[in-house]
Amino acid sequence: MPPSETTSPLPPPPPPPSPSTPRKHYFYWGHRALRRSPHRPIVHSHLLSRLKAPLKPSKPSSLPFSLSDWDPHSTSPPPPCPPPSSLPLSDRRLSPLARFILSSLRRHNRWGPEILADLSKLRHVPPPLVCEVLRSRPPLPPSLSTPFFLWAGKQKHFRHDYASFNAFAHLLSLTRQPGLADQVPDLMHMHGKPPTEKQLDVLVKLHSQTGHPLRALEIFRRMRAEYGIKPRVFLYNRLFEALIRRGHVDQALSVYNNEFREDGLKEEAITFTILVKGLSRAGRVEEVVELLERMRSQVCKPDVFAYTAMVKLMADRGNMDGCLRIWDEMKRDGVEIDAMGYATMVSGLCKVGKVDKGLELFNEMKRKSMVIDRSVYGALIEGFVGQARVGEACGVLQEMMDKDYRADLGIYDTLILGLCNVGRVDKAYKLFEIVVQEGLKPGLKTVSPLLVLYADKGHMDLFFKLVDRVSNLGLLVIDYLTDFLKLFLDKGEKEMNALKIFDEMKEKGYCSVGIYNILIESLYKLKERKMAISLFEEMKRSEKYLPDSDTYSLIIPCFVEEGGVREACSCYNSLIESSYTPTVNAYCSLAKGLCKIVEIDLAISLVRDCLGNLTSGPMEFKYALTIVNVCKTKKPDKVVDVLDEMIELGYPLEDITFCAIIHGFCKYASSAEARKVFSVLREQGVLTEANFIAYEEILNEHLKKVTAGLVISGLKFFGLESELKWATNPD
């Protein structure tokens, strides 16, 4: 033997492969190692190697199964019949076997012999492969994942591990099957795998992420009682946070006072912080102070971040008294309050009207040389304007600009409104010009207060000068004038002045259908219905401002209350022909008008149309149809029961209710039953004597119309229409 061979314990290293030569692969994982090693080659890839020889299927198949067909990095030529539709992009990170299983499951989409035949081509599916399939995205539906999980457990010498059970629970939760996910611990126990704290942590985390903290609490208590699991502090903290995030503060405190104490655990700083935040959100200040005292004595003092979070939670809900209490606790603990804490307090105090206290903290910020945010200046300006202290608000603005801050449009709008409220229109207009000079786009809140003030003082020349200024800026003037009219009319009893301004606006070409609608609605509220109708007729005569759906819905009550039910019906028909839906007020008003002219059948038809077109129809209409259906039983006492229910629930008995009684009994029984119901209501004091007589007359009129309709139908049936026309038209 040559000496070199006797002295060298290792064979010489193989020469590196040339770039044109394909790299040789080992059977186990990846390519061979380039460096010498007496051990198994080093793994450089998580993908299985390409097997050239196909695996022998256990059942006869038309095509041989080749694992290389499912490897995206394979260099072998494609098979004669490639696999079906490509897998999702997320599956490319999976192993070839996992892609093969997922392709079979998704291709057949139903557990059956076809999937079993594909799975039988694999010698063994180990637990890691089961986890890989169950954790794929998009998740498998329960109709596929559950049979696959059970099939894997029936393999020879196979036992699910904890990872596969956790993956199965995670999949069930993702597919909105939380009840089945809660049964996974029982399944583990049946397979000889007693659930541990990890499984409880998985379920609590899943239910918390899907927004079901009460379900997390239920499984927490069940596993703790049935399997003797004693969770650690971090799991309790996770449960506390999930409950408090959804507003279940009492349940979180119950767990803390019972299970947490029973397990003998010691609170951490994060435990107290979570509970204190929940109590702060609920505004329970005394309990917050009590927990803070316990936190100081057992763990540590709260830091500035915990205190700032508590203050912010209370300030967002307007509980500034609680914020001041927490503020005192911060000073008691000697916590160095940062700028965010001060900003939160100043903004919250100014919103609830405690501007002086907010100004005090603001000055304290300046003494401590803190960086003051622009929102703090804006909150102070808004607070001063709310108390009509516009001079001090302008001083804050000047101070802010001296600090090289640029005011935003919200601050300018607030100051313009405040100046207009105190009558300083000249100063307000100067601010408007500053807004334009700084390149800001004036909004509705910028222009409308100025227009309202000009209209109040009668300065119409300045009014239209501002309107022209807005038009020259390229803004939609009609939107500004519409908002102006709303503000102007909201001040009350200014409808006549609004009409005068409206006439001048029309002369200058500033008008729209929306402006007409605002005036019609305001006149109707003022009971100036004839003027509203005249505006409606004016719109119909014009070609530019034709009525829209809002116009018809507003004018229907005006016609009904003026006795023009026929005109109201014409407006309703115009709405329906244009494929519009009337408002609830229009439906109710028209139904009431039809009842007054004893068009009961049309009123009931209108009720059905309303409930069919609107998702939230009035309860009176719903009860009217209920009464009509109850009348089919021909039992007046049942109708009286429905009326008693309406009275008990606080729903008034309207005209449509009594007309429904008349319509139902006249159609399905006789008028005698309707009279019995009216008599019972009179005895109960629900109907006065005058109303009883009025509804008796309506019943008689309805009977006459029904009888006349039957006679006319009979004449038409026997072909006697000509005789009817001769009798009605003797000329």
pLDDT bracket for residue 143 (50, 70, 90) = confident
pLDDT higher than 50, residue 483 = yes
Q: Which pair of structure tokens corresponds to residue 76?
A: 């072998």
pLDDT, average across residues 460-472 = 91
pLDDT higher than 80, residue 15 = no
pLDDT higher than 60, residue 14 = no
The conformation of residue 29, written as its DSSP 8-state character, comes to B
Look at residue 41 in the predicted model and tell me its pLDDT.
44
The answer to whether the CB of 443 falls within 8 A of the CB of 409 is: yes
To the nearest whole percent, how much of the chain has pLDDT over 90?
28
pLDDT, average across residues 157-172 = 84
pLDDT higher than 60, residue 52 = no
Predicted confidence (pLDDT) per residue in 65-86, tens digit: 555 555 555 555 444 434 444 5
pLDDT, average across residues 152-171 = 84
- Structure-model confidence comparison of residues 184 and 587, the more confident one: 587
- Structure-model confidence comparison of residues 450 and 55, the more confident one: 450
User: How many residues make up the chain in this entry?
Assistant: 731
pLDDT higher than 70, residue 96 = yes
Q: Which residues pair with 132 in a beta bridge?
A: none
pLDDT bracket for residue 498 (50, 70, 90) = confident
Q: Which pair of structure tokens corresponds to residue 608?
A: 């059905």
The sign of the torsion formed by the CA atoms of 36, 41, 47, 52 equals positive
Please give the Cα distance from 584 to 607 (Å, whole number): 11
pLDDT, average across residues 1-25 = 46
pLDDT, average across residues 520-533 = 90
> Mean pLDDT lowest for which of 48-57, 105-114, 179-188, 235-244?
48-57
The answer to whether the CB of 101 falls within 8 A of the CB of 111 is: no
The answer to whether the CB of 293 falls within 8 A of the CB of 301 is: no
Q: Which residues pair with 55 in a beta bridge?
A: 65
Q: Which residues pair with 48 in a beta bridge?
A: 29
Look at residue 730 in the predicted model and tell me its pLDDT.
45
Please give the Cα distance from 486 to 472 (Å, whole number): 23
Distances (CA, A) of 56 to 97, 263, 629: 15, 57, 71
pLDDT higher than 70, residue 16 = no
pLDDT higher than 70, residue 26 = no
pLDDT, average across residues 693-721 = 72
For tokens 């200024």, what's the residue?
A: 469
Q: What is the largest CA-CA distance in the chain?
A: 144
Tell me the pLDDT of the chain averaged across its residues.
82
Residue 563 makes CB contacts below 8 A (sequence gap 6+) with none
Look at residue 417 in the predicted model and tell me its pLDDT.
92
> Mean pLDDT lowest for which of 74-78, 307-311, 464-468, 576-580?
74-78
pLDDT bracket for residue 136 (50, 70, 90) = confident
- Written in H, E and C, the secondary structure of 466-506 is HHHHHHHCCCCHHHHHHHHHHHHHHCCCCHHHHHHHHHHHH
pLDDT bracket for residue 43 (50, 70, 90) = very low
pLDDT, average across residues 291-302 = 84
Distances (CA, A) of 375 to 25, 417, 446: 66, 18, 19
pLDDT, average across residues 517-537 = 91
pTM as predicted? 0.67
Look at residue 150 in the predicted model and tell me its pLDDT.
86
pLDDT higher than 90, residue 536 = yes
- Structure-model confidence comparison of residues 585 and 334, the more confident one: 585
Please give the Cα distance from 152 to 146 (Å, whole number): 10
Residue 531 makes CB contacts below 8 A (sequence gap 6+) with 499, 523
pLDDT bracket for residue 201 (50, 70, 90) = confident
pLDDT bracket for residue 29 (50, 70, 90) = very low
Look at residue 69 in the predicted model and tell me its pLDDT.
56
Of 206, 132, 214, give the one whose Cα is nearest residue 174.
206
- Structure-model confidence comparison of residues 70 and 253, the more confident one: 253
Look at residue 51 in the predicted model and tell me its pLDDT.
37
Look at residue 656 in the predicted model and tell me its pLDDT.
92
The answer to whether the CB of 98 falls within 8 A of the CB of 129 is: yes
> Mean pLDDT lowest for which of 165-179, 543-557, 564-578, 648-662?
165-179
- Structure-model confidence comparison of residues 494 and 192, the more confident one: 192
pLDDT higher than 70, residue 6 = no
Of 337, 334, 347, give the one whose Cα is nearest residue 373.
347
Look at residue 68 in the predicted model and tell me its pLDDT.
54
Helix H or strand E segment including 93: none
- Written in H, E and C, the secondary structure of 105-160 is HHHHCCCCHHHHHHHCCCCCCCHHHHHHHHCCCCCCCHHHHHHHHHHHHCCCCCCC
- Structure-model confidence comparison of residues 493 and 565, the more confident one: 565
Predicted confidence (pLDDT) per residue in 323-367, tens digit: 888 888 888 888 888 889 899 999 999 998 899 999 999 999 989
CB atoms within 10 A of CB 671: 16
Please give the Cα distance from 286 to 322 (Å, whole number): 9
Q: Could you state, in order of their start, the residue ranges of all structural domains in the chain?
A: 1-52, 94-189, 342-403, 408-503, 617-731
Which span out of 124-128, 284-288, 464-468 was modeled with the highest average pLDDT?
464-468
pLDDT higher than 60, residue 259 = yes
